[in-house]
A = this chain, B = another copy of it.
Amino acid sequence: MADIGIKEIAAKANVSIATVSYVLNGTRNVRPKTRERVLRVIEEMNYKPNNAAQSLKRKRTNTIGVIAEDVTVFNVPEIIDGINDCADKLDMHILLTNLRLDKRISRNFDQVDSYRSFAANAVSELLSKQVDGIIYIGIHPRDLTGLFDTYGKPIVYAYCYTQNDVSLQYNDEQASYDAMAHLVKQGHKRIAVITGMMDSIPSRLRFNGFYKAIMEYNLPFDPQLMKMGNWEAESGYRLTMELLELNEPPTAILAMNDVMAVGVLRAAAEVGVLIPRELSVIGFDNREFSEYLIPRISTMDLPLHEIGYQAMESLALLIKGEPIPNNPLPNCKLIERDSVAPPLRL
């Protein structure tokens, strides 16, 4: 393709560059014959409009910046996929920035200052690139208010919270409520929960859903059945051991993520408790590995694709200056597999 521009096309088609521009953009009526001639030349010479020039003129790049805290963390690729899915339809492009946060600060999200500069730099470069807007993808749902300033550029946050901008999450409360409902429907009454770190928003939301189910289904509210984990498999293992030693152990465990559910499996295997016959387990996140475990565990699937899709939709609206409709939070979906069964009749 090289260096052919609108000028070359105009010359070869015997029209002015303006006309070429008109047929290119459909901005004005062009005599069909002329139009076809131009189109043919464009085709022949394999001409592609120079987007840098267009952007300069139009003050619009049709490109958004996506800042991912870490593309290698499980939730991010699906969200990007959703963004992409929608961006394709809107003819938008994606400038991707990867903060590599997981490698750089691991899980120390509280040390905001250690990554604020990464984020601010990313925004700065994106702004320089004249993106029409920005989507920020978190790797852990938390409040990110005030992380950086976009100087008026539209931004939407996905998989995290913020007070002054649009942010997309999913319905954590409904998710754990649904998981509980499923267990209850199987006949379970003594259901234990292993939470994530309680300083995390999803942990608290999921606990709310758990609690709501306890109340609505009139289940025994037994503090011994509520264990605080830390998202890691080891905590699932340890707390399951404790649960199994109870005088009246639970017949089912709701683990707030699939990783801790692995710990439940390990503990059960070690003590010789059969899953799901003697103990049901349900996880959270629908991580890839959850279906490769033995037994394959039932889990709550996160609407990641939809979060990405909606984030892009909302951003497009923001860019056009239109109001964002108040969408309900997308729901999680129960994936039924082999780790849940009715409790053993006594």
Q: Which residues in A have some Cβ–Cβ distance to B below 8 Å?
A: 1-2, 46, 48-53, 55-56, 61, 63, 66, 70-72, 74, 76-78, 80-81, 84-85, 93-98, 100, 124-125, 127-130, 151-153, 233, 259, 262, 265-266, 269, 287-289, 292-294
Contact = CB atoms under 8 A, between A and B. Distances in A.
A292 B52 contact: no
Complex copy number for this chain: 2
Nearest to A78: B72
Contact of A84 (B1, B85, B98): B98
Given A94-B96, A152-B2, A294-B294, A50 B130 contact: yes
Contact of A292 (B1, B95, B152, B259): B259
A128 B51 CA distance: 6
Nearest 6 A/B pairs, CB to CB = A289-B289, A1-B151, A52-B55, A48-B128, A84-B98, A96-B96
A262 B292 contact: yes
Nearest to A53: B56
Nearest to A50: B130
Contacts of A292: 233, 259, 262, 289, 292-293
Contacts of A266: 294
A48 B124 CA distance: 8
A100 to B, nearest CB: 7
Contacts of A50: 56, 128, 130
A298 to B, nearest CB: 16
Nearest to A73: B77
